[in-house]
Amino acid sequence: MTDWKKLVSGSDVRGVAVGENAVLTPAVAEALGVAFARYVAEKVGKPVTQVTIGIGRDSRVSGPALLAAASIGISKAGASVLDYGMCTTPAMFMSCVTPGFMTDGAIMVTASHHPWDKNGLKFVTAQGGLESREVCELLDTAAQLNPDQMAVSGSITQKPFLPAYTEQLAERIRRGLDTDIEKPLLGLHVVVDAGNGAGGFYAKLMEELGAWIEGSQFLEPDGMFPNHRPNPEDADAMASVSAAVTRVGADLGVIFDADCDRAAVVDSDGREINRNRLIALMAAILLDEKPGQTIVTDSVTSSGLKKFINDWGGEHYRYKRGYRNVIDEAIRLNAEGIECPLAIETSGHAALKENHFLDDGMYLVTVLIVKAMKLKQQGLSLGSLISDLQEPVESKEIRLSITTEDFRETGKQAIAKVLDYASAASAWHIAPDNREGVRISFDLDGGMDNAWFLLRLSVHDPVLPLNAESDVPGGVKTMLTDLYQVLNGTPGLDLSGLEKALA
């Protein structure tokens, strides 16, 4: 018996898709295909028989079966299917707005950076990705369906979309370099690491545009991800691409997650540029073009990043964790007349206003490739733009488990307890841009605002993530010791992770 509600993961459907414990099965995907086709028909105001849905997948071993099942479900609803085969998540949205395709909606079969046995479905229309509420409605509809009693009446056509998407990226490079020559990247050496996900074609694009790609690795799709996790936040993955860059003397390296909606880069000296560094790099590029703009990020960004953005003539706007939250807030601010060119999470999710506010790691990297080419012509590297970024001396991330059934209420109570204490403690300063959980800053060793921690409730899990950074040695332990005293004895909160960090 499928527990449909447990398949919700933010604005996606996700679950184990391989083995005896599989919950995201072909039968589930088929029912969701029917439900999504009907949802799209209602949304666009067409009979379902006039609706066209695109569908693609990453390299996961369960991908072909789930794609086929979802396609059959769509066709059983009466809609037409365009099967894109191997594709990327951002390309799914672009297929909805690209002439020659212009689908009414699209489904991506992926579990992003998660292990090989997981998979998921991401749903988009020309208006963007579905919200969590809409995904829950899809699951409610699917749970009531019996596709076995339905006949296929819509068509299924194989039509690759990656060639069209790749040409869009190539055009962005030529436009950025203000040229129409065939090989605008001649002289640039780029290492591409696709992590055996869907992004290996980017190396071919680089080569076709003139770049040297020696050292590129893990380009072939392999759903077991045998070399490293396809995750730009993973230490082993970043170390691998960094080593490749330094081994071959490349100008930069780029790395994608399995479905290419997230990315990171590596400078010529092997220095990893992800998380705060990636945000700083993009902010510098955008603010150099037009100062005064606002950069919207998630809540766990560093104090040094805020100073960096301000020094470059911009405004740093911290918002809630979750890429949809960050994107939606940037869109809202633009509607109010506050110019925001970028919405970006420390995870590598980045959405540019110039690109439909689509979180597209490959488009982000393409913008960086353009800048890297321009800088190389000046004898500089990407890293030169962030040489002034102040980075913390210490940082720590801890996940505090919540053991009660109503974990959200327990988490809220723990955060309220910290807020109450901070309101009365002279050494604890509640951050003025505190928009999620509780962010407290400290003045340590005679300095000002040189350490902070953020305690928040996870978007999906029964966990309170705790991030702490300090610009002075020993600062993290000082803060966490005080925090432990405040949280100790809180019902339903497991502090073992915090105790281990203090041991």
CB 21 within 8 A of CB 122: no
Residues facing residue 56 across a β-bridge: 85, 108
Write the pLDDT tens digit of every residue in 122-131. 999 999 999 8
Q: Kindly state the average pLDDT of the residues 325-333.
A: 96
Residue 240: is its pLDDT beyond 90? yes
Contact 117, 107 (CB under 8 A): no
Mean pLDDT of 129-155: 94
Q: In 18-63, at which residue ranges do the beta strands (DSSP E only) sit?
A: 52-57
Give the three-class secondary structure for 145.
Answer: coil
Average pLDDT over residues 483-503: 95
pLDDT of 459 higher than 80: no
pLDDT at residue number 461: 83
DSSP-based three-state secondary structure for 123: strand
Mean pLDDT of the chain: 96
Mean pLDDT, residues 417-445 taken together: 94
pLDDT band (50, 70, 90) for residue 205: very high
Dihedral sign of CA atoms 327, 225, 6, 495 in order: negative
Per-residue pLDDT, 191? 98
- Return the H-helix or E-strand segment holding 423: helix 407-424
Q: What is the mean pLDDT of residues 282-310?
A: 96
> Cα dihedral angle (245, 249, 251, 253), rounded to 10 degrees?
-10
What's the mean pLDDT in 40-54?
97
The reported pLDDT for the residue numbered 2 is 81
pLDDT number for residue 427: 94
What values do phi and psi take at 231, rounded to 5? -150, 115
Closest by CA to 298, choosing from 326, 273, 262, is 326
Q: Which amino acid is at 190?
A: V
Using DSSP, state whether 81 is helix, strand or coil. strand
Question: What is residue 486's predicted lDDT score, i.e. its pLDDT?
Answer: 97
Please report, to the nearest 10 degrees, the dihedral formed by the alpha carbons of residues 449, 453, 454, 455 taken in order.
-150
What share of the chain in percent tops pLDDT 90? 94
Q: Are 59 and 196 in contact (CB under 8 A)?
A: yes
163, burial (CB in 10 Å: exposed 0-12, middle 13-18, buried 19+):
exposed
- Residue 46: phi and psi, rounded to 5, are -125, 155
Give yes or no for residue 49 having a pLDDT over 90: yes
Given pLDDT bands bounded at 50, 70 and 90, which one contains residue 11? confident
CB 197 within 8 A of CB 178: no
The whole-number pLDDT of residue 5 equals: 85
Q: How many residues does the chain have?
A: 503
Residue 256, classed as helix, strand or coil, is strand
**Domains defined for the chain, CATH in brackets:** 4-160 (3.40.120.10), 165-386 (3.40.120.10), 394-502 (3.30.310.50)
Q: Is pLDDT at 72 greater than 80 in this prediction?
A: yes
Bridge partners of 352, per DSSP, are: 342, 358
Burial of residue 344, with CB atoms counted within 10 A of its CB: 0-12 exposed, 13-18 middle, 19 or more buried: buried
pLDDT in tens, 356-401: 999 999 999 999 999 999 999 999 999 999 999 999 999 999 999 9
pTM: 0.94
Per-residue pLDDT, averaged over 163-181, amounts to: 98
pLDDT given for residue 434 in this prediction: 80
What is the model's pLDDT at position 18? 96
For residue 188, give both structure tokens: 């640039």
48-60 average pLDDT score? 98
Q: What is the mean pLDDT of residues 84-98?
A: 97
In whole angstroms, what is the distance from residue 131 CA to residue 124 CA? 10
pLDDT at 7 > cutoff 80: yes
pLDDT at 322: 86
Tokens of 347: 């995870």
Give the tokens for residue 170.
């190539």
Could you say which DSSP state residue 149 is in? G
Q: Cβ(317)–Cβ(310) under 8 Å? A: no
pLDDT band for 3, please (50, 70, 90 cuts). confident
Looking at residue 263, its pLDDT comes to 96
| Joined tokens for residue 266 | 């590596």
473 contacts: CB under 8 Å, gap ≥ 6: 393, 394
- 285 pLDDT above the threshold of 90: yes
* Alpha-carbon distances of 410 from 255, 287, 415, 416, rounded to whole Å: 38, 41, 9, 10
DSSP structure class, residue 126: T
Q: Identify residue 301 by its one-letter amino acid code.
A: T
- Alpha-carbon distance 328 to 351, whole Å? 10
**Cβ burial, residue 168 (10 Å; 0-12/13-18/19+):** middle
Q: Are strands 190-193 and 52-57 parallel, antiparallel or unpaired?
A: unpaired
Find, among 431, 447, 448, the residue nearest to 439 by Cα.
Answer: 431
pLDDT, residue 127, reads 92
Q: What is the pLDDT, as a whole number, of residue 460?
A: 72
